[in-house]
Structure 1
Amino acid sequence: MSSNDFFENNRVQKRAAFFSGMAERLLGVYPEIGKYTHFTTDSPILLSHCYFLLSDSYKAARLKPESRTDDYKKAAISATAVMIVRPFAALNPDDVSNLEAFLANPIFAMACGNAWASNRDLFSSYPFDYLKRFYNTLHNVEIHAMEEFIQRLRADQPVTDITSVTLNRHDMAALDNWVEKFFMLCNQKR
Protein backbone atom coordinates (compact mmCIF):
# COMPACT_ATOMS: atom_id res chain seq x y z
CA MET A 1 0.00 0.00 0.00
CA SER A 2 1.41 3.37 -0.96
CA SER A 3 1.50 6.23 1.53
CA ASN A 4 -1.15 8.01 -0.57
CA ASP A 5 -3.46 4.93 -0.33
CA PHE A 6 -2.89 4.83 3.43
CA PHE A 7 -3.75 8.53 3.76
CA GLU A 8 -6.88 8.10 1.65
CA ASN A 9 -8.01 5.02 3.58
CA ASN A 10 -7.20 6.69 6.92
CA ARG A 11 -9.17 9.87 6.17
CA VAL A 12 -12.13 7.90 4.84
CA GLN A 13 -12.15 5.67 7.94
CA LYS A 14 -11.92 8.67 10.29
CA ARG A 15 -14.77 10.49 8.56
CA ALA A 16 -16.83 7.27 8.51
CA ALA A 17 -16.34 7.02 12.29
CA PHE A 18 -17.54 10.64 12.58
CA PHE A 19 -20.76 9.86 10.67
CA SER A 20 -21.33 6.64 12.60
CA GLY A 21 -20.84 8.43 15.93
CA MET A 22 -23.18 11.22 14.89
CA ALA A 23 -25.87 8.69 13.99
CA GLU A 24 -25.55 7.07 17.41
CA ARG A 25 -25.77 10.47 19.11
CA LEU A 26 -28.79 11.47 17.05
CA LEU A 27 -30.64 8.26 17.89
CA GLY A 28 -29.81 8.83 21.57
CA VAL A 29 -31.28 12.34 21.47
CA TYR A 30 -34.18 11.56 19.09
CA PRO A 31 -35.12 7.93 19.77
CA GLU A 32 -38.37 8.47 17.80
CA ILE A 33 -36.28 8.50 14.61
CA GLY A 34 -35.14 4.96 15.39
CA LYS A 35 -38.75 3.83 15.75
CA TYR A 36 -39.54 4.67 12.14
CA THR A 37 -36.17 4.41 10.34
CA HIS A 38 -32.93 2.48 10.39
CA PHE A 39 -29.41 3.71 9.75
CA THR A 40 -28.16 1.51 6.92
CA THR A 41 -25.06 -0.52 7.69
CA ASP A 42 -22.86 0.71 4.85
CA SER A 43 -23.82 4.36 5.34
CA PRO A 44 -20.72 5.58 7.23
CA ILE A 45 -18.34 4.55 4.41
CA LEU A 46 -20.73 5.82 1.71
CA LEU A 47 -21.13 9.14 3.53
CA SER A 48 -17.38 9.46 3.95
CA HIS A 49 -16.70 8.67 0.30
CA CYS A 50 -19.38 11.15 -0.81
CA TYR A 51 -17.99 13.79 1.57
CA PHE A 52 -14.49 13.54 0.11
CA LEU A 53 -15.71 13.54 -3.49
CA LEU A 54 -17.49 16.83 -2.74
CA SER A 55 -14.73 18.28 -0.57
CA ASP A 56 -11.87 17.52 -2.96
CA SER A 57 -13.75 19.00 -5.90
CA TYR A 58 -14.79 22.05 -3.88
CA LYS A 59 -11.22 22.63 -2.70
CA ALA A 60 -9.88 22.30 -6.25
CA ALA A 61 -12.21 25.07 -7.36
CA ARG A 62 -11.97 27.38 -4.33
CA LEU A 63 -8.76 26.84 -2.43
CA LYS A 64 -5.10 26.25 -2.82
CA PRO A 65 -4.27 22.52 -2.66
CA GLU A 66 -2.51 22.88 0.69
CA SER A 67 -5.41 24.82 2.25
CA ARG A 68 -7.67 23.28 4.83
CA THR A 69 -11.43 23.50 4.62
CA ASP A 70 -12.95 25.81 7.23
CA ASP A 71 -15.63 24.56 9.59
CA TYR A 72 -18.60 26.15 7.80
CA LYS A 73 -17.55 24.46 4.57
CA LYS A 74 -17.15 21.14 6.40
CA ALA A 75 -20.64 21.68 7.80
CA ALA A 76 -22.14 22.37 4.37
CA ILE A 77 -20.33 19.48 2.70
CA SER A 78 -21.28 17.08 5.53
CA ALA A 79 -24.94 18.08 5.34
CA THR A 80 -24.92 17.79 1.56
CA ALA A 81 -23.29 14.35 1.69
CA VAL A 82 -26.00 13.20 4.09
CA MET A 83 -28.73 14.39 1.76
CA ILE A 84 -27.10 12.65 -1.22
CA VAL A 85 -26.67 9.31 0.59
CA ARG A 86 -29.82 9.57 2.78
CA PRO A 87 -28.57 7.01 5.30
CA PHE A 88 -31.78 6.78 7.34
CA ALA A 89 -34.25 4.54 5.52
CA ALA A 90 -37.91 4.37 6.50
CA LEU A 91 -38.86 1.04 8.06
CA ASN A 92 -42.17 1.30 6.20
CA PRO A 93 -41.33 3.01 2.89
CA ASP A 94 -45.01 3.04 1.91
CA ASP A 95 -45.88 5.24 4.91
CA VAL A 96 -43.79 8.38 4.96
CA SER A 97 -46.50 10.42 6.67
CA ASN A 98 -44.55 10.13 9.91
CA LEU A 99 -42.62 13.34 10.55
CA GLU A 100 -39.67 11.50 12.15
CA ALA A 101 -39.27 9.28 9.08
CA PHE A 102 -39.67 12.21 6.69
CA LEU A 103 -37.19 14.47 8.51
CA ALA A 104 -34.67 11.86 9.74
CA ASN A 105 -32.08 12.62 7.05
CA PRO A 106 -32.36 16.43 7.17
CA ILE A 107 -32.17 16.36 10.98
CA PHE A 108 -29.09 14.13 10.71
CA ALA A 109 -27.62 16.46 8.06
CA MET A 110 -28.14 19.45 10.34
CA ALA A 111 -26.63 17.57 13.30
CA CYS A 112 -23.52 16.67 11.28
CA GLY A 113 -23.19 20.27 10.11
CA ASN A 114 -23.71 21.55 13.63
CA ALA A 115 -20.88 19.33 14.89
CA TRP A 116 -18.42 21.21 12.66
CA ALA A 117 -19.79 24.72 12.62
CA SER A 118 -20.87 25.66 16.07
CA ASN A 119 -19.90 25.48 19.69
CA ARG A 120 -23.58 25.79 20.54
CA ASP A 121 -26.37 23.32 19.99
CA LEU A 122 -28.49 24.68 17.15
CA PHE A 123 -31.30 22.32 18.15
CA SER A 124 -31.69 23.98 21.53
CA SER A 125 -30.93 27.48 20.18
CA TYR A 126 -33.85 27.54 17.75
CA PRO A 127 -37.43 26.33 17.91
CA PHE A 128 -38.25 23.19 15.91
CA ASP A 129 -40.57 25.09 13.56
CA TYR A 130 -37.75 27.49 12.68
CA LEU A 131 -35.31 24.66 11.95
CA LYS A 132 -37.97 22.74 10.02
CA ARG A 133 -37.62 25.33 7.24
CA PHE A 134 -33.95 24.37 6.92
CA TYR A 135 -34.80 20.66 7.06
CA ASN A 136 -37.28 21.09 4.23
CA THR A 137 -34.78 22.97 2.06
CA LEU A 138 -32.21 20.21 2.67
CA HIS A 139 -34.61 17.81 0.95
CA ASN A 140 -34.07 19.84 -2.22
CA VAL A 141 -30.26 19.97 -2.30
CA GLU A 142 -29.09 19.04 -5.80
CA ILE A 143 -25.50 18.48 -6.81
CA HIS A 144 -25.47 17.53 -10.48
CA ALA A 145 -21.90 16.23 -10.33
CA MET A 146 -23.13 13.49 -7.99
CA GLU A 147 -25.80 12.08 -10.34
CA GLU A 148 -23.84 8.94 -11.23
CA PHE A 149 -23.14 8.35 -7.53
CA ILE A 150 -26.85 8.74 -6.71
CA GLN A 151 -27.97 6.50 -9.60
CA ARG A 152 -25.58 3.78 -8.51
CA LEU A 153 -26.71 4.05 -4.89
CA ARG A 154 -30.34 3.66 -5.95
CA ALA A 155 -29.43 0.66 -8.10
CA ASP A 156 -27.44 -0.85 -5.21
CA GLN A 157 -24.25 -0.75 -7.29
CA PRO A 158 -20.75 0.03 -5.95
CA VAL A 159 -19.76 3.69 -5.78
CA THR A 160 -16.32 3.61 -4.20
CA ASP A 161 -14.67 3.30 -7.62
CA ILE A 162 -15.84 6.85 -8.40
CA THR A 163 -12.65 8.71 -7.58
CA SER A 164 -13.51 12.29 -8.50
CA VAL A 165 -16.30 14.59 -9.57
CA THR A 166 -16.30 18.04 -11.12
CA LEU A 167 -18.67 20.51 -9.54
CA ASN A 168 -20.28 22.90 -12.00
CA ARG A 169 -21.14 26.50 -11.13
CA HIS A 170 -24.64 25.48 -9.96
CA ASP A 171 -23.17 22.82 -7.68
CA MET A 172 -20.70 25.35 -6.29
CA ALA A 173 -23.52 27.82 -5.71
CA ALA A 174 -25.55 25.17 -3.86
CA LEU A 175 -22.62 24.39 -1.55
CA ASP A 176 -21.82 28.08 -1.07
CA ASN A 177 -25.47 28.64 -0.15
CA TRP A 178 -25.25 26.06 2.62
CA VAL A 179 -21.92 27.46 3.84
CA GLU A 180 -23.72 30.79 4.28
CA LYS A 181 -26.74 29.19 5.95
CA PHE A 182 -24.57 27.45 8.52
CA PHE A 183 -22.58 30.62 9.09
CA MET A 184 -25.76 32.63 9.71
CA LEU A 185 -27.38 30.00 11.94
CA CYS A 186 -24.26 29.66 14.06
CA ASN A 187 -23.59 33.37 14.40
CA GLN A 188 -27.08 34.78 14.72
CA LYS A 189 -27.68 36.40 18.09
CA ARG A 190 -30.40 34.57 20.01
Structure 2
Amino acid sequence: MARPSLKQHWMSKISDDEWEKHRKISVDRLNNTNIVAGLVLTTSAIFVSTQPPLTSFLPYTIRGCYVLALGSFAHALGGLLSGLAVVNIYGSCDRIWAKRVLTSTRFRLCCTLLFMGWPTVSLTLSIMFLMLSLMIACYASGVWWLQFLATVEILSWAWLPPLFAWCALEETLPPKLRTLRRPTGP
Protein backbone atom coordinates (compact mmCIF):
# COMPACT_ATOMS: atom_id res chain seq x y z
CA MET A 1 0.00 0.00 0.00
CA ALA A 2 2.31 2.71 -1.35
CA ARG A 3 5.30 1.69 0.75
CA PRO A 4 8.63 0.33 -0.49
CA SER A 5 8.77 -2.35 2.20
CA LEU A 6 6.69 -4.09 4.85
CA LYS A 7 8.46 -2.29 7.70
CA GLN A 8 5.62 0.14 8.38
CA HIS A 9 3.09 -2.70 8.07
CA TRP A 10 4.90 -4.64 10.81
CA MET A 11 5.46 -1.54 12.93
CA SER A 12 1.70 -0.91 12.93
CA LYS A 13 1.16 -4.22 14.71
CA ILE A 14 3.21 -3.11 17.75
CA SER A 15 0.88 -0.53 19.31
CA ASP A 16 -2.76 0.45 19.02
CA ASP A 17 -1.88 4.04 18.08
CA GLU A 18 0.34 2.92 15.19
CA TRP A 19 -2.33 0.45 14.10
CA GLU A 20 -5.01 3.14 14.04
CA LYS A 21 -2.81 5.44 11.93
CA HIS A 22 -1.97 2.62 9.51
CA ARG A 23 -5.56 1.42 9.27
CA LYS A 24 -6.91 4.94 8.69
CA ILE A 25 -4.40 5.63 5.89
CA SER A 26 -5.11 2.26 4.25
CA VAL A 27 -8.89 2.59 4.45
CA ASP A 28 -8.81 6.20 3.21
CA ARG A 29 -6.72 5.21 0.19
CA LEU A 30 -9.02 2.33 -0.59
CA ASN A 31 -12.08 4.57 -0.22
CA ASN A 32 -10.58 7.01 -2.75
CA THR A 33 -9.90 4.12 -5.12
CA ASN A 34 -13.49 2.91 -4.67
CA ILE A 35 -14.86 6.35 -5.56
CA VAL A 36 -12.79 6.49 -8.75
CA ALA A 37 -13.73 2.89 -9.59
CA GLY A 38 -17.40 3.84 -9.27
CA LEU A 39 -16.91 6.72 -11.68
CA VAL A 40 -15.05 4.55 -14.20
CA LEU A 41 -17.70 1.84 -13.79
CA THR A 42 -20.42 4.34 -14.65
CA THR A 43 -18.50 5.72 -17.61
CA SER A 44 -17.77 2.30 -19.07
CA ALA A 45 -21.39 1.24 -18.47
CA ILE A 46 -22.52 4.18 -20.59
CA PHE A 47 -20.24 3.14 -23.44
CA VAL A 48 -21.38 -0.48 -23.18
CA SER A 49 -25.10 0.26 -23.02
CA THR A 50 -25.66 3.16 -25.44
CA GLN A 51 -25.39 3.74 -29.17
CA PRO A 52 -23.15 6.60 -30.26
CA PRO A 53 -25.12 9.68 -31.33
CA LEU A 54 -22.95 9.96 -34.45
CA THR A 55 -21.66 6.52 -35.39
CA SER A 56 -19.53 7.98 -38.20
CA PHE A 57 -17.86 10.39 -35.76
CA LEU A 58 -16.92 8.04 -32.90
CA PRO A 59 -17.88 4.40 -33.57
CA TYR A 60 -17.28 3.02 -30.09
CA THR A 61 -19.62 0.08 -30.67
CA ILE A 62 -17.34 -1.71 -33.11
CA ARG A 63 -16.30 -5.13 -31.84
CA GLY A 64 -12.80 -4.25 -30.55
CA CYS A 65 -13.95 -1.10 -28.77
CA TYR A 66 -16.96 -2.87 -27.30
CA VAL A 67 -14.85 -5.77 -25.98
CA LEU A 68 -12.39 -3.33 -24.38
CA ALA A 69 -15.27 -1.34 -22.86
CA LEU A 70 -16.68 -4.59 -21.44
CA GLY A 71 -13.22 -5.38 -20.02
CA SER A 72 -13.13 -1.91 -18.48
CA PHE A 73 -16.58 -2.43 -16.98
CA ALA A 74 -15.62 -5.85 -15.58
CA HIS A 75 -12.37 -4.61 -14.02
CA ALA A 76 -14.03 -1.53 -12.54
CA LEU A 77 -16.78 -3.72 -11.09
CA GLY A 78 -14.29 -6.26 -9.73
CA GLY A 79 -12.05 -3.53 -8.32
CA LEU A 80 -15.00 -1.88 -6.63
CA LEU A 81 -16.22 -5.19 -5.21
CA SER A 82 -12.83 -6.16 -3.82
CA GLY A 83 -12.17 -2.62 -2.60
CA LEU A 84 -15.42 -2.52 -0.66
CA ALA A 85 -14.73 -5.94 0.83
CA VAL A 86 -11.25 -4.93 1.98
CA VAL A 87 -12.51 -1.62 3.41
CA ASN A 88 -15.22 -3.40 5.38
CA ILE A 89 -12.92 -6.11 6.72
CA TYR A 90 -9.75 -4.08 7.28
CA GLY A 91 -11.67 -1.11 8.63
CA SER A 92 -13.39 -3.15 11.31
CA CYS A 93 -10.60 -5.45 12.48
CA ASP A 94 -8.35 -4.72 15.40
CA ARG A 95 -4.57 -4.95 15.61
CA ILE A 96 -4.44 -8.33 17.35
CA TRP A 97 -6.87 -9.99 14.92
CA ALA A 98 -4.98 -8.59 11.92
CA LYS A 99 -1.73 -9.91 13.35
CA ARG A 100 -3.05 -13.36 14.33
CA VAL A 101 -5.29 -13.98 11.32
CA LEU A 102 -4.50 -11.80 8.29
CA THR A 103 -0.72 -12.07 8.65
CA SER A 104 -0.32 -15.31 10.61
CA THR A 105 1.48 -17.13 7.79
CA ARG A 106 3.50 -16.01 4.79
CA PHE A 107 0.72 -17.16 2.46
CA ARG A 108 -1.96 -15.21 4.37
CA LEU A 109 0.27 -12.13 4.37
CA CYS A 110 0.73 -12.39 0.59
CA CYS A 111 -3.00 -12.87 0.09
CA THR A 112 -3.81 -9.92 2.35
CA LEU A 113 -1.39 -7.68 0.48
CA LEU A 114 -2.80 -8.89 -2.83
CA PHE A 115 -6.37 -8.16 -1.68
CA MET A 116 -5.32 -4.70 -0.50
CA GLY A 117 -3.56 -3.91 -3.78
CA TRP A 118 -6.03 -5.52 -6.17
CA PRO A 119 -8.51 -2.60 -6.29
CA THR A 120 -5.76 -0.30 -7.58
CA VAL A 121 -4.49 -2.87 -10.10
CA SER A 122 -8.02 -3.52 -11.32
CA LEU A 123 -8.81 0.20 -11.57
CA THR A 124 -5.63 0.81 -13.57
CA LEU A 125 -6.53 -1.98 -16.00
CA SER A 126 -10.06 -0.63 -16.29
CA ILE A 127 -8.84 2.88 -17.15
CA MET A 128 -6.33 1.53 -19.66
CA PHE A 129 -8.98 -0.62 -21.38
CA LEU A 130 -11.38 2.33 -21.62
CA MET A 131 -8.68 4.65 -22.98
CA LEU A 132 -7.64 2.04 -25.53
CA SER A 133 -11.26 1.53 -26.56
CA LEU A 134 -11.75 5.24 -27.16
CA MET A 135 -8.43 5.55 -28.98
CA ILE A 136 -9.39 2.73 -31.36
CA ALA A 137 -12.77 4.38 -31.94
CA CYS A 138 -11.02 7.65 -32.81
CA TYR A 139 -8.80 5.93 -35.37
CA ALA A 140 -11.70 3.88 -36.76
CA SER A 141 -13.75 7.02 -37.36
CA GLY A 142 -11.76 8.10 -40.41
CA VAL A 143 -12.04 11.74 -39.31
CA TRP A 144 -8.51 13.08 -39.84
CA TRP A 145 -8.58 15.82 -37.20
CA LEU A 146 -9.95 13.40 -34.59
CA GLN A 147 -7.17 10.95 -35.44
CA PHE A 148 -4.67 13.82 -35.15
CA LEU A 149 -6.04 14.82 -31.74
CA ALA A 150 -5.93 11.18 -30.56
CA THR A 151 -2.28 10.96 -31.67
CA VAL A 152 -1.39 14.18 -29.85
CA GLU A 153 -3.19 12.87 -26.76
CA ILE A 154 -1.32 9.56 -26.87
CA LEU A 155 2.02 11.32 -27.28
CA SER A 156 1.22 13.68 -24.42
CA TRP A 157 0.61 10.70 -22.10
CA ALA A 158 3.24 8.26 -23.38
CA TRP A 159 6.20 9.99 -21.76
CA LEU A 160 4.63 10.23 -18.28
CA PRO A 161 5.05 6.62 -17.01
CA PRO A 162 8.78 6.40 -17.88
CA LEU A 163 9.40 9.84 -16.38
CA PHE A 164 7.51 8.92 -13.21
CA ALA A 165 9.41 5.64 -12.91
CA TRP A 166 12.70 7.47 -13.33
CA CYS A 167 11.76 10.05 -10.67
CA ALA A 168 10.37 7.47 -8.24
CA LEU A 169 13.29 5.04 -8.31
CA GLU A 170 16.28 5.53 -6.08
CA GLU A 171 19.54 6.53 -7.61
CA THR A 172 21.73 3.49 -8.12
CA LEU A 173 25.03 5.28 -8.47
CA PRO A 174 27.88 4.01 -6.31
CA PRO A 175 28.51 6.18 -3.21
CA LYS A 176 31.76 7.51 -4.67
CA LEU A 177 30.03 8.85 -7.78
CA ARG A 178 27.11 10.27 -5.80
CA THR A 179 29.47 12.46 -3.79
CA LEU A 180 31.14 13.69 -6.99
CA ARG A 181 27.79 14.78 -8.45
CA ARG A 182 26.68 16.89 -5.49
CA PRO A 183 27.96 20.44 -5.59
CA THR A 184 29.30 21.83 -2.37
CA GLY A 185 27.84 25.18 -1.41
CA PRO A 186 29.66 28.23 0.01
TM-score where L is the length of structure 1: 0.31
User: Rg: which structure is higher?
Assistant: 2
